[in-house]
Amino acid sequence: MKIDFKHIAIIGVGLIGGSFALALKQQGFKGKITGMGRNKKNLSKAKKLGIIDNYTTEFTEGIKDADLIMLAVPVGQFETIMKNIRRNLKKGAIVTDVGSVKAQIVKKLGPLMPKDVYFVGAHPIAGKECSGVTCASADLYQNARCIITPGPDTNNTALKKIINLWKTVGAKTMLMEPEEHDVIFAAVSHLPHVVAYALVNGIIKVDEAILHHGGKGLRDMTRIAKSPAELWRDICSHNKKNILKSLKMFSSSISNITKLIERSDWKGLEKEFIKAREARQPLESN
Amino acid sequence: MKIDFKHIAIIGVGLIGGSFALALKQQGFKGKITGMGRNKKNLSKAKKLGIIDNYTTEFTEGIKDADLIMLAVPVGQFETIMKNIRRNLKKGAIVTDVGSVKAQIVKKLGPLMPKDVYFVGAHPIAGKECSGVTCASADLYQNARCIITPGPDTNNTALKKIINLWKTVGAKTMLMEPEEHDVIFAAVSHLPHVVAYALVNGIIKVDEAILHHGGKGLRDMTRIAKSPAELWRDICSHNKKNILKSLKMFSSSISNITKLIERSDWKGLEKEFIKAREARQPLESN
């Protein structure tokens, strides 16, 4: 597939940004990939691994010739970075992101774009047990879904280029309104993360020294609690309303089950378990 | 390793009972394995797969020559089955189980043993995404832990034979008091299962039609909600007090996180996430 960009600047070269760069190279991308971030050691490692072609910690310098700028740091840093680099962006450049929240991002970043620079928001649904650039892999996005969230003002040509780009690295793209995205992912992604953290903290409240007794089930259930805390703090702050709503629904399920156990209503409890077991089916075909 | 038994009767030939039979055969067990259960079709399948040597749905018939009887059905059925078969048990026979709860089981089943028949409770920590005899595998217990829970009246020779048996199929055995077992596994196993069911039910309360948007994280987190509902209903009813206590601790963690998000206390939230991330470490080395 043809790649519409010649110089791609990735701000945040970790698992997500690094895998994106590797996937592009695997697809025969011949242009330049500049890595940017705060941590020189990390960037130097990424270069040694052949993930990026060059790097800088001076964002205004790194983006000035880029025709695609990808924000792949925690979402809480997006606005500051954009305010810092906006005056140096090249005419015709496209800015995109990989954040797990979209409505606030689209609303905040869109108006920061100078004339002839376009923002298109995206959220690739991909992850791994480990984080950081050493975990990056060229096949992370193969058959992964990538939600693209155009707003009413999104430039159509830029949108098509971003769709194309994600298809090139193997993802199945899907368009969604930013607000709709945030409602859905508050429930199916942000809530589960919060629950995983809370589950670990609940268990150590029972007894600090028993977690090692857990089996594969607990390990799998809390695997996402290994995600960087800063990332999920930012996601919570940027999707507060929807996450609180999801937490409310979840808490009501927990209190429902608690009541059934308190009342020894085993028939009712079994029904509740069966309901979950059946509702879960769609996840199997993902 | 020498196997101390010649005729083993397994009541409930599913994933756990079936894998145990397969593992024994792989270790060169030359005796007879009789499968028992309510479902003739399932038993016939188990025989065709070479998992058991013969089968019957008449429990009193199947156990009468057995020197080891293993209960591998949901724990809610143990007492009725024991009352039904106890008069037909052979002198010197050992009865064991694989239930995920222990205190009530040990307390109820111990006194039901006739003279010269011995009960030893056990709980192998092993599982799989799928259930049923077709999922049974000879290596399910390789390097798995198996908790053995002798009570004050447990016969020492019988205990040693059960420890040996689990070692033979590859498990790492560990002794624990039945009550201690139930406190620990309420927190590290029963609570996570209940939370997995509640998570699915919470998400469909937000919107019935969004679960398919979930990624690998949600799939892994809710995988254990695929476990048979009957099994977990019985576990909840047999470990009610401890599970309610664990649920209380978990609910307080959830409400703590909810409050931090409501108050936009992002520093506090990050701390809560970091605490979980660090506490989770022991699970990695399992």
Residue A215's nearest CA partner among B127, B167, B60, B36 is B127
Provide the 10 A C-beta neighbour count for residue B115. 5
Flag whether A190 is in a domain. Answer: yes
Provide the 10 A C-beta neighbour count for residue B191. 24
B133 and B248 in one domain?
no
What share of chain A in percent tops pLDDT 70? 99
Flag whether A1 is in a domain. Answer: no
* Mean pLDDT (whole number) for B156-169: 97
Nearest CA-CA distance, residue A42 and chain B, Å = 22
State the pLDDT at residue A1.
Answer: 67
Whether B229 and A273 have beta carbons less than 8 Å apart is answered as yes
Q: What's the pLDDT band for A286 if we cut at 50, 70, 90?
A: low
Q: Is pLDDT above 80 for B144?
A: yes
A75 token code pair: 């979402």
Using a 10 angstrom Cβ sphere, with 0-12 exposed, 13-18 middle and 19 or more buried, the burial of residue B116 is exposed
* Mean pLDDT (whole number) for A125-148: 92
B202 and A233 within 8 Å at the Cβ level: the answer is no
A154 and A30 in one domain?
yes
State the pLDDT at residue A10.
Answer: 98
Q: In sequence order, which residues have a C-beta less than 8 Å from that of residue B166 and are 6 or more positions away?
A: B122, B124, B141, B146, B148, B173
Nearest CA-CA distance, residue B158 and chain A, Å = 25
* Tens digit of each residue's pLDDT (9 = 90 or more) over A198-251: 999 999 999 999 999 998 889 999 998 988 899 999 999 999 999 999 999 999
Q: What's the pLDDT band for A14 if we cut at 50, 70, 90?
A: very high
Q: What's the pLDDT band for B284 if we cut at 50, 70, 90?
A: confident
Put simply, the chain A residues between 225 and 254 with a CB less than 8 A from any chain B CB are 225-227, 229-230, 232-234, 236-237, 240, 243-247, 249-254
B126 and A212 within 8 Å at the Cβ level: the answer is no
Flag whether A64 is in a domain. Answer: yes
Q: What's the pLDDT band for B1 if we cut at 50, 70, 90?
A: low
B97 and B26 in one domain?
yes
Model ipTM over 0.90: yes
Put simply, the chain A residues between 163 and 202 with a CB less than 8 A from any chain B CB are 183-189, 191-202
Query: Strands, E, within chain A: which ranges?
Result: 7-11, 32-36, 54-56, 68-71, 94-97, 118-120, 122-125, 145-148, 172-175
A199 and A119 in one domain?
no
Flag whether B221 is in a domain. Answer: yes
A90 token code pair: 């090249």
- Top residue of B195, B244, B274 to mutate, by most chain A CBs within 10 Å, is B195
A186 and A97 in one domain?
no
What share of chain B in percent tops pLDDT 70? 99
B243 and B152 in one domain?
no
A195 and A142 in one domain?
no
A165 and A26 in one domain?
yes
Flag whether A2 is in a domain. Answer: no
pLDDT averaged over every residue in chain A: 95
A-chain residues within 8 Å CB-CB of B189? 214-215, 217-218
Query: In this structure, what are the phi and psi dihedrals at residue A181, rounded to the nearest 5 degrees?
Result: -55, -45
* Tens digit of each residue's pLDDT (9 = 90 or more) over B216-249: 889 999 998 988 899 999 999 999 999 999 999 9
State the pLDDT at residue A269.
Answer: 98
Domain boundary among A119, A146, A176: A176
State the pLDDT at residue B129.
Answer: 73
Q: Is pLDDT above 80 for A129?
A: no
B157 and B36 in one domain?
yes
Q: Does B280 touch chain A (CB under 8 A)?
A: yes
B169 and B78 in one domain?
yes
Domain count of chain B?
A: 2
> Could you tell me the CATH number of the domain that includes residue B271?
1.10.3660.10
State the pLDDT at residue B286.
Answer: 57
Domain that holds residue B206: 180-285
> Could you tell me the CATH number of the domain that includes residue A11?
3.40.50.720
State the pLDDT at residue A49.
Answer: 96
Flag whether B268 is in a domain. Answer: yes
B184 and B240 in one domain?
yes
A151 and A66 in one domain?
yes
Q: What's the pLDDT band for A130 if we cut at 50, 70, 90?
A: confident
Domain boundary among B150, B176, B202: B176
Long-range CB contacts for residues A112-118, cutoff 8 Å, separation at least 24: A112/A79, A112/A82, A112/A83, A112/A86, A113/A86, A113/A89, A114/A86, A114/A87, A114/A89, A116/A91, A116/A92, A117/A86, A117/A89, A117/A90, A117/A91, A117/A92, A117/A93, A118/A93, A118/A94, A118/A154, A118/A155, A118/A157, A118/A158
B18 token code pair: 């079936």
* Mean pLDDT (whole number) for A76-96: 97
B252 and A202 within 8 Å at the Cβ level: the answer is yes
A222 and B283 within 8 Å at the Cβ level: the answer is yes
* Mean pLDDT (whole number) for B194-209: 96
Q: What's the pLDDT band for A17 if we cut at 50, 70, 90?
A: very high
Q: Is pLDDT above 90 for A261?
A: yes
State the pLDDT at residue B6.
Answer: 97
